[in-house]
């Protein structure tokens, strides 16, 4: 049976979408094939790389990709899930062949303030929220 292709989209493909991609591939890899991309690709957030390593997932070599390059390249996905805020999600292109488009908003780790440890703790909370949402979605589908 072919895997369901899922694209996670956020602004820079530097944090939330990368975590969601990694968790869906880890927990649902037998049924799903996840990818991620950003509206304006940036650089991986080092706090995200660190907190993902804490749970045994190394994303340090993941590239950040442009959603528009995927769109222009004819990337076909069954589901597109935006993980940024509502106003950013509205900027996402419409992908041909998409059966379902969902929005799961999560705080942006790039916006966190405080000490290094405070930023890590806030990033861990987002990581855990994303993993929980992924597991619930897998169980419901």
d(C-alpha 131, C-alpha 128), whole Å: 5
| Active-site residue, 10 included | yes
Q: Find the catalytic residue in 84, 120, 130, 134.
A: 84
d(C-alpha 108, C-alpha 126), whole Å: 8
Burial of residue 63 (CB within 10 Å: 0-12, 13-18, 19+) is exposed
> Which 3 state secondary structure label does DSSP give 116?
helix
Q: Find the catalytic residue in 9, 10, 15, 67.
A: 10
Q: Find the catalytic residue in 92, 120, 130, 134.
A: 92
| Active-site residue, 92 included | yes
Which sequence positions are flagged as catalytic?
Answer: 10, 84, 92
């Amino acid at each position: 049976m072919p895997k369901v292709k899922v694209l996670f989209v956020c602004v820079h493909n530097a944090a939330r979408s990368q975590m969601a991609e990694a968790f869906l591939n880890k927990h649902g890899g037998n049924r799903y094939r996840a990818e991620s991309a950003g509206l304006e690709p940036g650089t991986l957030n080092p706090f995200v790389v660190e907190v993902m390593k804490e749970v045994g997932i190394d994303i340090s070599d993941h590239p950040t990709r442009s959603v528009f390059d995927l769109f222009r390249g004819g990337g076909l996905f069954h589901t597109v899930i935006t993980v940024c805020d509502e106003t950013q999600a509205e900027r996402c292109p419409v992908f041909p062949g998409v059966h379902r488009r969902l929005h799961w908003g999560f705080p942006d780790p790039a916006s966190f303030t405080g000490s290094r440890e405070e930023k890590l703790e806030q990033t861990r909370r987002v990581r855990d929220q994303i993993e929980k949402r992924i597991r619930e979605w897998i169980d419901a589908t």
